[in-house]
Structure 1
Amino acid sequence: MAMWTDLRPTVEMPRLFERGGDVISFAGGLPDLDVLPLETISGQLSRLVRLGGKLALQYTTPHVAKALIPAINDLMGREGSATTADHLVPTQGSQMGLMAVGLGIATPGETVLVQTPAYPGAAAAFRIAGLALHPAPEDADGLAPAALRETVLRLRADGRTVRLLYCNPTFQNPTGATLSVARRRELLAVARELDLLIIEDNPYGLLSFDGGTTTALHALDPERVIYLGTFSKVFAPGLRCGWIAAPEQLAPHLRRTTEVMSLSPSALAQAALAAFHTRAGWGDLLAAYRASYQERCALMADALDAELGTDGPWQWERPRGGFYIWLRHREGVDTVRFAEAAAEHGVSYVPGSHFGLDGEHADGLRLCFSNVPRKRIAEGVSRLAAALTAPVPSLRGAA
């Protein structure tokens, strides 16, 4: 007899956070927690538990705590957006938000359009929710509105339900690309025309190296956009705290779904973040994160220039923010072929096939610079270059 697990698609996430031996990891997107003022946070947590522990350590309602809303609006306001309690749903980070949208808004079997190369966690969440995935069309400037219209109309003519578009428009994971404001406006115009909801996943939007921001899709049309926010990249992932800012009519559905998933958000995490923001704001911490990532990115990009050059088989662009550099092989070679050699040289990366929906983007690889010790970045790139410039190995099992 078939088990329910046999009927669902196989979903596998890349192993991002494993470490060992002398391996220099360019794989997982970990923030640089060296910038956190741990002594200050420790004092605030101690006071919070001492004075309000019976509330902070108890179950709570499936709502964003009132004290946390100003902290959320401070972050969202930097990209031109704002929200209220009626629109907010608490999550344990954007990953839970993706699952909540897939389970609470979509219908099993419907198609969600996905910006690719895609964050693997989004593809996994939507697949577990029973959705079909289809790549959203792009051109050299990113998501292509006219082609999107054609794609949606074609899919609907084929009898498929298409209501959702997922994107990571600012310092995208894995490419680091940002969609222009003009293109965002065009995209929203097509979404209104076709009655599409846009899922805006925005972990990196405030991590530009120069401190600049790009107007969020949510700011341009809050009734057309389901915004996924998280404190994981602007504070720390260990608190597992984030939020969804949704159109008011959708928020109750999402709130009920998250309640089933987790029963209760962490009152302690929400209170800790609210207390930090009340006393310190976000400005200094964001500036410290930006400076750290700007320095690490420059070290990695300079090392790539030195080790791989600009006229060889590998091409990349320097990002202006975020965590990642995206390399592509000009001849389309599957980068899984280099993974074993990289491991033998003591360095790790995420092959591009993890970011495709059906094997596409296999010629890419993602390097994360955000958490690598500064003194080891050049050494790691040297090890990587040794693996990438060796004769192209055959895939195991290939003829």
Structure 2
Amino acid sequence: MWTDPRPTAEMPQLFERADDVISFAGGLPDLDLLPLEEISAQLSRLVRVGGRVALQYSTPHVATSLVPAITDLMAREGGRTTARNLVPTGGSQMGLLAVGLSLAEPGETVLCQTPAYPGAAAAFRTAGLTLRAVPEDAHGLDPEGLRDTVLRLTAEGRTTRLLYCNPTFQNPTGATLSAERRVRLMEVAQELGLLIIEDNPYGLLGFDGRTTPTLQGLDPERVVYLGTFSKVFAPGLRCGWIAAPEHLADALRRTTEVMTLSPSPLAQAALATFHARTGWTGLIDGYRAAYRERRDLMSDALESALGRGGDWHWERPCGGFYLWLRHRDGADTARFAAPAAAHGVSFVPGSHFGIDGEHADALRLCFSNAPKERIAEGVARLAAAFRDGTSG
């Protein structure tokens, strides 16, 4: 396989747990909200009645029964698709690699909003692509800076056709690109002939219940949309989708078939059954409320432990899983990792979200799965680690 000669982005060990460690590292959903008895009964009936189909190989298509569940989710943010445009994946991470392998040639440049999800950087580099950051301003990804970057790369003889972004409740910052900025971004993308890769795991997790129109909804022919059930249902099913312009769907489908041979009929059937019987609204509303409560607990604890106007700056996010702390004096937050471990708390240093060493002065805290009763304790441990790391 052709790969970038540079090391891939390091994937931190986000999901490992140790005794008495309060983890603010991995982006895990709160599965206490799932109606497990109901899901168990549905799965039992699926296997009993249709097990010979649900446990067999399948074709590389989204099951017909699952299409309404996907179109329902996408429509809540203004997205639209059909069965012909859908490609099944084992979650967005698989979709990212499939996009990199299918839609660009080795050596080409993929533009990235930064700080960026490290799994995206790793997937694109594994596909042999070169990453380049897109300029941002106070309002997020800058369309005019995007144009300047593409024109400069073109003048240097570099081929640039893809822009990757996570515009809603971004991982790791929690920021959302405004509706006005999205319209301008799509105008510039059309002018430059760019295909946009929109990664949207968190878009329905706004704490006030409001949504922002997806880029895919603005221009379905210019956007390859990565969706996943991992954040609005559960990650253990490893089920997601790509909504692609129809002329690209077959190439993506061929790649995903090589990667997995077939999607999981059982996972697709389980999700389709849940949606048909229950719908998404109740579960999504429950997730929003739970994450809003944890966001408030963490934000309040940070203000109490660190104060405002000191060494650390952060914004209270309006949705998603994460808080992004930045050190005002530019300290490399990796220096606090060992003291944090000694105090029994974990986080992800900002350098994991850069594509060329940037963002080392920040760190990401995940509140979505932290026990509510231990969030304040975890933040107090983190503040003690900051003191130790500074004095040391």
TM score, norm. by length of structure 1:
0.97
The aligned residue for residue 195 of structure 1 is: 193
Q: Which amino acid aligns with 2:123?
A: A
In the alignment, the residues of structure 1 paired with residue 115 and residue 347 of structure 2 have an alpha-carbon distance, to the nearest angstrom, of 15
* 1:297 equivalenced with 2:295 (yes/no): yes
1:42-191 paired onto structure 2 within 5 Å: 42-191=40-189
In the alignment, the residues of structure 2 paired with residue 126 and residue 393 of structure 1 have an alpha-carbon distance, to the nearest angstrom, of 39
In the alignment, the residues of structure 1 paired with residue 134 and residue 309 of structure 2 have an alpha-carbon distance, to the nearest angstrom, of 30
Structure 1 vs Structure 2: percent identity of aligned residues? 74
Per the alignment, do residues 307 and 82 of structure 1 end up closer, same or farther by CA in structure 2, a change over 3 Å counting? Answer: same
The aligned residue for residue 29 of structure 1 is: 27
The aligned residue for residue 211 of structure 1 is: 209
* 1:260 equivalenced with 2:269 (yes/no): no
**Deviation for aligned residue 1:10:** 4.0
Q: Is the 8 A contact 2:205 2:284 kept in 1?
A: yes
One of 282, 285, 288 as aligned partner of 1:284: 282
The aligned residue for residue 397 of structure 1 is: none
In the alignment, the residues of structure 1 paired with residue 229 and residue 196 of structure 2 have an alpha-carbon distance, to the nearest angstrom, of 21
Q: Which amino acid aligns with 1:65?
A: A
Unaligned runs of 5+ in 1: 395-399
Q: What secondary structure sits across from 1:325 in the alignment?
A: strand
In the alignment, the residues of structure 2 paired with residue 238 and residue 74 of structure 1 have an alpha-carbon distance, to the nearest angstrom, of 21
TM score, norm. by length of structure 2:
0.98
The aligned residue for residue 331 of structure 2 is: 333
Q: What secondary structure sits across from 2:176 in the alignment?
A: coil
**Deviation for aligned residue 1:147:** 1.0
Deviates more, 1:258-267 or 1:4-13: 4-13
**Deviation for aligned residue 1:344:** 0.4
Q: Which amino acid aligns with 1:325?
A: L
In the alignment, the residues of structure 2 paired with residue 333 and residue 6 of structure 1 have an alpha-carbon distance, to the nearest angstrom, of 29
In the alignment, the residues of structure 1 paired with residue 143 and residue 5 of structure 2 have an alpha-carbon distance, to the nearest angstrom, of 35
Q: Is the 8 A contact 1:8 1:130 kept in 2?
A: no
Runs of 4+ residues deviating >6 angstroms = 3-6
Q: Is the 8 A contact 1:338 1:393 kept in 2?
A: no
1:249-398 paired onto structure 2 within 5 Å: 249-390=247-388, 392=390
Per the alignment, do residues 194 and 292 of structure 1 end up closer, same or farther by CA in structure 2, a change over 3 Å counting? Answer: same
- How many residues were matched structurally? 392
**Deviation for aligned residue 1:81:** 1.1
Deviates more, 1:243-252 or 1:11-20: 11-20
Superposed CA RMSD in Å reads 1.3
Can you list the C-alpha shifts for 1:1-51, whole angstroms capped at 9, x where unaligned? xx9889563442011001111100000000000000000000000000000
Q: Which amino acid aligns with 2:348?
A: V
Per the alignment, do residues 287 and 376 of structure 1 end up closer, same or farther by CA in structure 2, a change over 3 Å counting? Answer: same
Can you list the C-alpha shifts for 1:30-81, whole angstroms capped at 9, x where unaligned? 0000000000000000000000000000000000000000000110000011
**Deviation for aligned residue 1:311:** 1.4
In the alignment, the residues of structure 2 paired with residue 266 and residue 160 of structure 1 have an alpha-carbon distance, to the nearest angstrom, of 39
